[in-house]
Amino acid sequence: MTLTQTAMERELLLVPVPLTPGNPGASPIPVRGGAEDPHPGAPAAPVPGAKPHPSTAPVAVPTSSAAFLVRSALIVLAALAIGLVVQFTWISGLEQHSSQVSLFNQFRSELALGTAPTGPTDTSGHQLAPGTPIGLVTIPSIGVRQVVVEGTSGSELAKGPGHLRNTVFPGGPGTSVVYGRAHSYGGPFGAISSLKRGARITVVTGVGTSTFRVVDVRLAGGKVHPVAVGKSRLTLGTAAGPAFAPSGMVFVDADKVGKPLAADNPVVASVPAGELPLANDTGTLWALFFWLEALGALLVGAVWTWRRRGRAQAWIVFTAPLLVVWLFTADQVARLLPNVL
């Protein structure tokens, strides 16, 4: 062995040999920066079968089912809150407009046929059903033209202004009270607080047409000017204050021009608590429970489909049903708010 061969063997011992199936004892660390390295400075290529270093291995973050359900529930609650605002400020107005068109056609036909109500009972002597159209109120100065229905519960005031059943028909001797919503379901009475003394209000009923002049605009608890004997008064009422935080009631008193019309006395001395101002209508709670159950069933199905079948399938199958049920649920929740809101 020559001196040159010995020196070459020593250099080979200092150079790691790449790992190959035929050389299991060689170093697995490739040489970088040498003469045979085609890409000096580049990261090392992964070796087949070799385990990655713990610091470079991808970390799998487990997804908790409980966290997914909580996140989904929060999204649903946010959607319901947004839906309630949309229902309260926009969709309810479309519903009320549709109801008014139907009520106007019905009332106009009854006037033409002479079958429109002339008092608190129908032609058979039975008390008028809640929601029956009894008159048409017009206030030109604020652009109001609404069909008045019998009853003042939240469900009835969602259709239009309602006549308080223990007061006389509009135009009859004494005081007739009509409530209307201020903000939701079209807010037909939202601007009555801006009426000035002398403003004209016209009411058409089955008895005839009555013209009233505003004499006072007052808040609840304020002084009420008495009605003269043998005179007729119309009192309009609605919520006062912000839309979601009413501070009380505002009333408009208007006296009839001329003599009162003939009208029967009310057949009820008092009305249920749900028909008083700022009352909540709980008569449709069963409907709210039904829609909530339907909404819950759809949400469970949507979540299951999302996890098992994919988000695309969940969107395609459940978007339309969820939107419909969501609208009906928001409508029922809105009806639980104060009736003149």
| Confidence band for 16, pLDDT divided at 50, 70 and 90 | low
Lowest pLDDT segment from 224-228, 231-235, 258-262, 332-336 = 332-336
Q: What is the DSSP string of 108-134?
A: HHHHHHT-S--SSB-TTSPBPPTT-EE
Decide: helix, strand or coil at residue 145: strand
| Confidence band for 86, pLDDT divided at 50, 70 and 90 | confident
Q: What is the pLDDT of residues 184-203, one digit of tens each?
A: 999 999 999 999 999 999 99
The most confident of 46-55, 172-181, 263-272, by mean pLDDT: 172-181
Q: What is the pLDDT of residues 279-316, one digit of tens each?
A: 988 877 888 888 888 988 888 888 889 888 888 988 89
pLDDT of residue 327: 81
Q: What is Dmax (Cα atoms) for the chain?
A: 141
| Confidence band for 63, pLDDT divided at 50, 70 and 90 | low
Q: Higher confidence at residue 25 or residue 151?
A: 151
pLDDT at 179 over 90: yes
* Domains of the chain with CATH codes: 83-115+133-275 (2.40.260.10)
| Confidence band for 48, pLDDT divided at 50, 70 and 90 | low
pLDDT of residue 43: 54
Residue 49 identity (one-letter amino acid): G
What are the distances in angstroms from CA 112 to CA 66, 99, 146, 205, 206?
Answer: 64, 20, 18, 12, 10
